[in-house]
Amino acid sequence: MASKSVSQEADDILLASSMITLGARLQVLEAETSLSHDRLARLYREIRGCSPPKGMLPFSVDWFMTWLPNIHSSLFYNVYSFLNTRTTSKGIRATIDAYRLYLENAGQEAADAEPVLSFTRAWMLVRFFDSGMLQLSACRQCGGHFIAHAHDPQSDFVCAICRPPPRAGKTRAAAKARAGTRAAPIATAAPT
């Protein structure tokens, strides 16, 4: 029986802790570390204060093709690609670093709001690219690189920013957010 390295186990615990803090599901932790399921579940409960969510991981590439997820996923993947090719951050560490940068730049309107792209979906996105199911396509209008199905024609690709769908941004949540910003009281200086 091979003995586990204490330093490797400590690295795995730190890596798992980072991913749990960012919202990773238990299946992601099991795939990226050598810690047991029970150990990861205990660590998850200790950090998040609740049991890990159950169920299957998201597995469809079609989610990444809808307009808002495509924009957010493209932002994340471009950062990930840059970090993975031009820095010492590789693999899952590049995914963690890229996701942290994505969260800083995603422009979430409310601090407690869920980001459009979860860590688990970001991790799946990297796996979809690695398996050749997705590609980056250059928009012919703005030149940005956006996620598209692999082997889609590239010559006439137009991104979701240059050509948003007709009802983009007209959801109930967007209307509530707009109404909330209009209803906010305007601070005035007190007379002296």
Torsion angle of the four alpha carbons 126, 28, 73, 85, in this order, in degrees rounded to the nearest 10? -40
Q: Which two tokens stand for residue 79?
A: 């950062």
List C-alpha distances in Å: 167 to 5, 69, 159, 170. 55, 15, 16, 6
Torsion angle of the four alpha carbons 60, 65, 66, 68, in this order, in degrees rounded to the nearest 10? 110
Angle between the N-to-C axes of helices 6-22 and 37-48, in degrees from 0 to 180, rounded to the nearest 10? 50
Quote the CA–CA distance of 57 and 65 in Å, as a whole number: 18
CA atoms within 13 A on the CB side of 164: 9
Q: Are strands 134-138 and 145-149 parallel, antiparallel or unpaired?
A: antiparallel
Pinpoint the alpha helices (H) of 112-171: 119-130
3-state class percentages of the chain: helix first, strand second, coil last, to nearest 5 = 50, 5, 45
142 annotated binding-site participant: yes
162 annotated binding-site participant: yes
Binding site, annotated residues for Zn(2+): 139, 142, 159, 162
Binding site, annotated residues: 139, 142, 159, 162
